[in-house]
Amino acid sequence: MDKYWIIGSSSGIGKSLAKKLDNKGYKLILSSRNESKLHELNSLLNNDHEVLPLDLSNKDQCLSISRKVVESNPDSLNIIFMSAAYSPDDYSDYENIINVNIMGFMHILNVARSFMIKSTNKSKLVICSSLVAYKGLPYSQPYSMTKAALYNLASSLHIELKNKIDVKVITPGFVKTPLTDKNKFPMPFIISSNKAADIIERGIFSKKFEISFPLPMHITMKFLQILPNTLSNFICALLKKSTDSNQ
């Protein structure tokens, strides 16, 4: 049975996805910064899984944990990167957001990439971006910047490593999680983390590259992306004005 390393599994979508994969009998490696929540999750699952606390803002820890995972999984390694830092009311937190959302993953990829290419069984690399990668929105930077970077990275790797690693990208809209609980503005088409995990689980085992949901939000963001910038920026400015007036 394949093993999945879920980075960012202590809460939100990552936690729900861990439960889904555990129910299917897959072996898991559970990682996040919060060790106590990881052990709490592991105790609730049907099977006992490996718990590896990981601080993505710590480069040395990312490298050492990645080497440990690679060395203990000689046949194949499937990585699902769900972690995200988000501070909508604290613009000064940009360094931590960039370290957690991008740099930590790059440190892991630096160690795991060559192993995953050469692994006996074809590995999966699933990267969680966001629909904000399609269009920069007010009040979402620097978070949206990092998600756009992850989308670009996943797209590049998917092309470069085709037939070597099954690379996929997740682009969620609003999902009810501790992260989105920080928002003080309306979140259209918001869905539960359990429903999001259902969609992601099906997508992981499909042939498609992008796992995007919910459909109405995907269509909205794709529409804004393909419009001329003058028009899409005007629409977003109207949405910002409406949001500001309701706060």
Angle value at C-alpha 13, between 12 and 15, nearest 5 degrees: 70
8 Å CB contact between 216 and 120: no
Reply yes or no on whether the pLDDT at 79 is more than 90. Answer: yes
Please say if the pLDDT value at position 239 is more than 70: yes
For the chain, percent helix, then strand, then coil, each to nearest 5? 50, 15, 30
- List pLDDT tens digits, range 136-182: 888 888 999 999 999 999 999 999 999 999 999 999 999 999 999 99
Q: What integer is the mean pLDDT of 1-27?
A: 96
Q: Which long-range contacts (CB under 8 A, 24 or more apart) does 213-217 make?
A: 213/171, 213/172, 213/173, 214/173, 214/189, 216/188, 216/189, 217/131, 217/173, 217/174, 217/188, 217/189
pLDDT above 90: percentage of residues in the chain: 83
Q: Is the C-alpha dihedral spanning 123, 129, 133, 134 positive or negative?
A: positive
- 101-122 pLDDT tens trace: 999 999 999 999 999 998 888 9
Long-range contacts of 238-243 (CB under 8 A, 24+ apart): 239/138, 240/138, 240/139, 243/138, 243/139, 243/185, 243/186
pLDDT value of residue 137 = 84
User: What's the pLDDT at 246?
Assistant: 63
- Mean predicted confidence (pLDDT) in 51-74: 95
What pLDDT does residue 73 have? 80
